[in-house]
Amino acid sequence: MAVPTASAESNLTIRTRKLAQSIGRPLFAVFLAMIAGSIVIMATSPGSLLDRFNQTIAAYQALFTGAFGNAQNFSFTLTTVTPLIL
């Protein structure tokens, strides 16, 4: 009887899996933070539910436009975030 052997995975497959595992957790944390922020914005905003939803969308739109809106904003974002990453 032949002994079953594990299939050999390519180096690219192994690296891709490690990259997905290392990026997955921080992306999930950012997603949860955005959900928590949305709940806080909607809970503290006046108006109807639709108004609260629109204010939440406007807040995140302003956040992303301020951080990534043009090359200058993006460079300021990188300058501010780089010491936090290192």
What mean pLDDT is predicted for residues 27-31? Answer: 94
What mean pLDDT is predicted for residues 17-24? Answer: 87
Regarding predicted confidence, which is higher, 56 or 9?
56
Of 84, 83, 64, nearest in space to 74 by CA: 64
Q: Tell me the torsion sign for CA atoms 53, 57, 62, 67.
A: positive
Residue 63 pLDDT more than 90? yes
The whole-number pLDDT of residue 13 equals 86
